[in-house]
Structure 1
Amino acid sequence: MQRLSESSIRPLIVRRSPSGLRGTINVPGDKSISHRALMFAALAQGRTVIKGLLEGEDVLRTADAMRALGATISRDGSDWVVEGRGVGQLREPDDVLDMGNSGTGARLLSGILSSHPFNSVMTGDASLRSRPMRRVTAPLAENGACFVTRRDERLPMAIVGTGAAKPLNYRLPVASAQVKSAILLAGLNADGETRVEEPVATRDHTENMLRHFGVPVRVETTTDGGRVIFLQGPAHLTARDVIVPGDPSSAAFPIVAALLLPQSDIVIRGIGLNPLRTGLLTTLRDMGGDLRLENERIEGGEPVGDLHVRGSDLRCVDVPADRAPSMIDEYPVLAVACSFANGTSRLRGLAELRVKESDRLAATVALLEASGVVVRVEGDDMLIDGLGAGQVPGGGKVATRMDHRLAMSAIVLGLAAGQPVDVDDTAFIDTSFPDFIGLMNKLGANLGGTADAS
């Protein structure tokens, strides 16, 4: 795969689709699980085969980083093969670890590096270098590691790892699967019990994969609906093959596009149905979306199924804040769906969106306003005055801010809006969804018009 350059700009003019979307597709492998599969396989003893790995730019950066830390990683046809080194056995990298646009990769890797007795330096692209790391470095510094960052806790970051990591007892101030996972990964090489309490249950791929690799993890539910995760270190991981399901966050874009376009009828095969990742499906059903699950099954320890989606008239929705962790990456495209719904929708508890690839809360507001939608923010809530099916004017120019999900959300909006939508850059879609445009065209989207790159 050709690596993404920050100077590679791919603008796109998106015009209303002349007809609905039709066909059967597979979306790329789950990004969250792909990152973890590579990291856990590198920390395991033995040979792991990974099937369905997402070959997007973000995940490839994680593969490069684990190679630099001593794991042997290769491709065998469509499979990826990892020869792991074991917990505590990674080696000091010879060069800076460049994580590209991947916040997940950078934050989780920080946990691993903090508990290994060597020095390392991590950087990323302009977007990642603008995002604060303090919510990860602050708890990890308590295990004995030292972090040196730029002003405001931003990358590049030097990490002085510790050879005597202390187990952490930490309550997350804000629900975050990335922070939780970083602490658990640090705990693998700590002497004693690591305890992480989260106020709201977040995606549990790390806990599931730890068990898959043979590490006992205990989870307790608190009286207020949160969870406490316990891990005893030092831990030993045994190599186990991994099957990566289709990414529900990537599936969100063809799902919403199909709902918004009349006469659409699509099937998305093999997507992950982890209950801590299906908040969008619940919400779209609340809005009247025609979504049916078929062929439900378990693969690699994760629930999987096929999703049948038909064009639907949507109504407004009030999304509770406690649903946010199960759909945090899907809010921009959900906001697009709400723009075409009847009535005013309220999306609650979106503080986490401010520290994603961009300030996604502000960027989503700008995306909708550029195409004639009235939207406002009250605290951490977003209110959207839906205009009804086919009634969003469109015609705006969208600044995607190097954010792959903003770019795909803008494309979905343009497919259903009255006037063409000018998307300033689609290049960063490759970080999570290679050939997104080709797949949408396979369904009949007819995406092809480009804008002037200047």
Structure 2
Amino acid sequence: MPAHTFLPASAPLTGRIAVPGDKSISHRALMFAGLTVGRSTIAGLLEGEDVLATAAAMRAFGARVERLEDGAWVVDGAGLGSLLEPAQALDMGNSGTSTRLLMGLVASHGITATFTGDASLSRRPMERVITPLARMGAAINASPGGTLPLMMRGALPAVPITYRLPVASAQVKSAVLLAGLNTPGITRVIEPVPTRDHTERMLEGFGARLEIGEEGGEKVIDIHGEADLTPLDVTVPGDPSSAAFFMVAASIVPGSDLVIENVGMNPTRAGLVEALRQMGAEITEENPREVGGEPVADLRVRHAHLKGAEIDPALGPAMIDEFPAFFVAAAMAEGTTTTSGLEELRVKESDRLAAMAAALTLAGARAEEHEDGLVIHGSGGEPLPGTPEGAEVATHLDHRIAMSMAVAGLASRSGVAIDDTGPIATSFPGFASLLEEAAAQPQSSPGRKSEIPG
């Protein structure tokens, strides 16, 4: 896609908006429904390219996956233990979640599958998933460096293992648990640092038997194999990672008073709210409730004078995908914000530490890149200069870099030019139009609702 310049906000962000469904939950709903025998319905599914890659893969494994006219999705499962061998390579596009979780599914089925992806995904490390799945008996042939393209042959039966996660990764945890679903006996995962728990919550909803406890201060998850999953109707809450951009935008654009409806508030995903509040953000949770086993609330966000803070590395796993947006908030704060313990950001869709340091610097912010985090010296609320004429932020095919710098453009003097907005479609179709609409509405009380285009 051609470059796009995101201009300063013409007005405060006001009204009520709804962001797309949670990407992590959308992936899992399609996969788990595809492992049942019977029909599940999914409301609020995120229809970005990453999730559609998961839907296509589940069809290749034998599930029937369809979108209805009312926007709901129905899945007629292929049945755990009955997955078909895909007739051709599974194109994962840019989706690391699809790739790693589906590798877990294949690992305990006696089928062969080949995984491919785009240039960005093909640089991302798969060794962290390959290691435990190989211990369970899967035969895996990856490209040099443990990357895609990758071919694997599942083991039938697979071998149950006890696996202690060497890095905090919900994707690795989920891959091992999914492999354990069709493995005789009990597969155990030990988590030294808690990560998002959507897999555990939803698997129990679909009828899997899990035992979750703690040993020596570490979370221990046991999953009983040869499970009998039953169909489930799932309602997907709004994605907190998508809401993050609007939380930051409303916090830094003067006069803003914005309500973001139906946002998932799972404690393992709500780190950004806590970090922004540490900086003085005005974020209140209205109408808290539970939807499909997940805590949900409407978030009212008002402009605030942010102050720099030192972010506890322990908060990292609960906001790992939201750091690019958070860095923009830090760039607008008064004083210095320090982050550390974020080596994981170097192996996302891009090296997000390097990419955001370069992008913010180009837009006129003061950002220092360190091995495991960024130190950002804020503007004290003064608008950033914006990108110089003719200069464009390099997004490195990373949707979160693109969206974060779009938000930075709202709080700049001359706007921020982005080299490619195409990657945004992987997770948030309609982002640009919703952002510009919210930023162009006449100031009023937050009573009007805007939604992303269908």
Task: Give the TM-score band, short-chain normalised.
Answer: over 0.9
- Taking the aligned partners of 2:180 and 2:303, their CA distance within structure 1 comes to 47
Q: Displacement of 1:445 after TM fit?
A: 4.7
- Taking the aligned partners of 1:323 and 1:99, their CA distance within structure 2 comes to 29
Counterpart of 2:37 in structure 1 is 45
- Taking the aligned partners of 1:158 and 1:223, their CA distance within structure 2 comes to 37
- Of the candidates 221, 233, 244, which is equivalent to residue 236 of structure 2? 244
Specify the code of the residue in structure 1 equivalent to 2:161: L
- Taking the aligned partners of 1:444 and 1:420, their CA distance within structure 2 comes to 13
Please state whether the residue corresponding to 1:106 is helix, strand or coil. helix
- Of the candidates 160, 164, 174, which is equivalent to residue 171 of structure 1? 164
- Of the candidates 353, 373, 387, which is equivalent to residue 381 of structure 1? 373
- Taking the aligned partners of 2:85 and 2:128, their CA distance within structure 1 comes to 24
Identity percentage of aligned residues? 52
- Any gaps of 5 or more consecutive residues in structure 2? 442-454
- Taking the aligned partners of 2:215 and 2:353, their CA distance within structure 1 comes to 30
- Taking the aligned partners of 1:81 and 1:45, their CA distance within structure 2 comes to 13
Please state whether the residue corresponding to 2:335 is helix, strand or coil. strand
Counterpart of 2:448 in structure 1 is none
- Of the candidates 142, 150, 156, which is equivalent to residue 143 of structure 2? 150
- Of the candidates 353, 360, 363, which is equivalent to residue 361 of structure 1? 353
- Taking the aligned partners of 1:223 and 1:395, their CA distance within structure 2 comes to 50
- Taking the aligned partners of 2:272 and 2:45, their CA distance within structure 1 comes to 23
The size of the alignment, in residue pairs, is 437
Alignment of 1:294-313 (within 5 A): 294-313=286-305
Please state whether the residue corresponding to 2:349 is helix, strand or coil. coil
Q: Deviation digits for residues 302-328 of structure 1, max 9, x if unmatched?
A: 011101111111000111111111000
Specify the code of the residue in structure 2 equivalent to 1:363: A
In the TM superposition, structure 1's runs of 4+ consecutive aligned residues that sit over 6 Å from their partners are: none
Say whether residues 1:141 and 2:134 are aligned partners. Answer: yes
- Of the candidates 187, 195, 201, which is equivalent to residue 188 of structure 2? 195
Residues 259 and 300, structure 2, Cα contact 8 Å, conserved in 1? yes
Say whether residues 1:258 and 2:243 are aligned partners. Answer: no
Please state whether the residue corresponding to 2:408 is helix, strand or coil. helix
Residues 181 and 225, structure 2, Cα contact 8 Å, conserved in 1? yes
Specify the code of the residue in structure 2 equivalent to 1:406: I
TM-score (norm 1): 0.94
- Of the candidates 416, 421, 431, which is equivalent to residue 421 of structure 1? 416
Specify the code of the residue in structure 2 equivalent to 1:36: R
Q: Deviation digits for residues 402-448 of structure 1, max 9, x if unmatched?
A: 000000001001110122211000111011001001111221259xx
Please state whether the residue corresponding to 2:378 is helix, strand or coil. strand
Q: CA RMSD, aligned part only?
A: 1.1
TM-score (norm 2): 0.94
Cα distance change, pair 222–324 in 1 and its aligned pair in 2 (3 A): farther
Say whether residues 1:91 and 2:84 are aligned partners. Answer: yes
Please state whether the residue corresponding to 1:362 is helix, strand or coil. helix
Q: Displacement of 1:80 after TM fit?
A: 0.3
Please state whether the residue corresponding to 1:41 is helix, strand or coil. helix
Please state whether the residue corresponding to 2:38 is helix, strand or coil. strand
- Taking the aligned partners of 2:320 and 2:163, their CA distance within structure 1 comes to 22
Say whether residues 1:409 and 2:388 are aligned partners. Answer: no
Q: Displacement of 1:268 after TM fit?
A: 0.7
Specify the code of the residue in structure 2 equivalent to 1:291: I
- Taking the aligned partners of 1:308 and 1:420, their CA distance within structure 2 comes to 26
- Of the candidates 32, 45, 49, which is equivalent to residue 57 of structure 1? 49
- Taking the aligned partners of 1:239 and 1:266, their CA distance within structure 2 comes to 37
- Taking the aligned partners of 1:163 and 1:249, their CA distance within structure 2 comes to 37
- Any gaps of 5 or more consecutive residues in structure 1? 1-8, 447-454
- Taking the aligned partners of 1:407 and 1:152, their CA distance within structure 2 comes to 27
Q: Displacement of 1:389 after TM fit?
A: 0.6
Say whether residues 1:80 and 2:73 are aligned partners. Answer: yes
Q: Deviation digits for residues 196-244 of structure 1, max 9, x if unmatched?
A: 11111000000000110011211112434x3111111111111111000
- Taking the aligned partners of 1:325 and 1:96, their CA distance within structure 2 comes to 32
Counterpart of 2:155 in structure 1 is 162
Specify the code of the residue in structure 1 equivalent to 2:338: R
- Of the candidates 114, 126, 146, which is equivalent to residue 121 of structure 1? 114
Say whether residues 1:335 and 2:327 are aligned partners. Answer: yes
- Taking the aligned partners of 1:321 and 1:403, their CA distance within structure 2 comes to 23
Counterpart of 2:179 in structure 1 is 186
Specify the code of the residue in structure 2 equivalent to 1:126: A
Specify the code of the residue in structure 2 equivalent to 1:416: A
- Taking the aligned partners of 1:215 and 1:19, their CA distance within structure 2 comes to 49
Q: Displacement of 1:115 after TM fit?
A: 1.1
Alignment of 1:267-286 (within 5 A): 267-286=259-278
Q: Deviation digits for residues 27-47 of structure 1, max 9, x if unmatched?
A: 000000000000000011211
Residues 390 and 418, structure 1, Cα contact 8 Å, conserved in 2? no
- Taking the aligned partners of 2:287 and 2:318, their CA distance within structure 1 comes to 22
Please state whether the residue corresponding to 1:388 is helix, strand or coil. coil
- Taking the aligned partners of 2:435 and 2:167, their CA distance within structure 1 comes to 35
- Taking the aligned partners of 2:433 and 2:89, their CA distance within structure 1 comes to 34
